Amino acid sequence: MRITVKLFANFRINRFKEGLREYSDTVKVRDIVSELDIPESEVGIIFINGRNASIDQVLAEGDTLSIFPLVGGG
C-alpha cells in the first residue's frame, strides 16, 4: 500500500522532506520510524492525516504520516 511520509526539522537531514512510499498492509508507525533510522526517543509528534497518532498505530492505504522531532529550547 502507498503511504505519504512527511519529515520535519532535523529528521529531513540526509533523508527527504516528503515521499510516497510502499509498505505492507500491516505497517505501523514504529516500523517506518525504524526503517528511516530515527531513534524513537527523538520522535515528538506523530500525525496521521492531520490527527494526533501513536507510534503503534497501523496505517491504511493512502494515509499521510507526519513525523516531528522533540522541540527543545525555552
pTM of the full structure = 0.92
From the CA atom positions of the chain, what is the Rg in Å?
A: 12
CATH number, domain with residue 23: 3.10.20.30
**Which pLDDT does position 50 carry in this prediction?**
97
Domain assignment of residue 17, given as a range = 2-69
- Answer whether 12's CB lies under 8 Å from 69's CB: no
How many domains, in total, are found in the chain? 1
Of the candidates 48, 45, 1, 9, the residue with the CA atom closest to the CA atom of residue 27:
1
Of the candidates 62, 67, 69, 70, the residue with the CA atom closest to the CA atom of residue 31:
67
CA distance 33 to 38: 5
Could you state, in chain order, the average pLDDT of each consecutive group of 10 residues for the chain (74 residues)? 97 95 96 97 97 97 97 66
Under DSSP, the state recorded for 11 is: G
- Is residue 65 in some structural domain? yes
**Which pLDDT does position 73 carry in this prediction?**
59
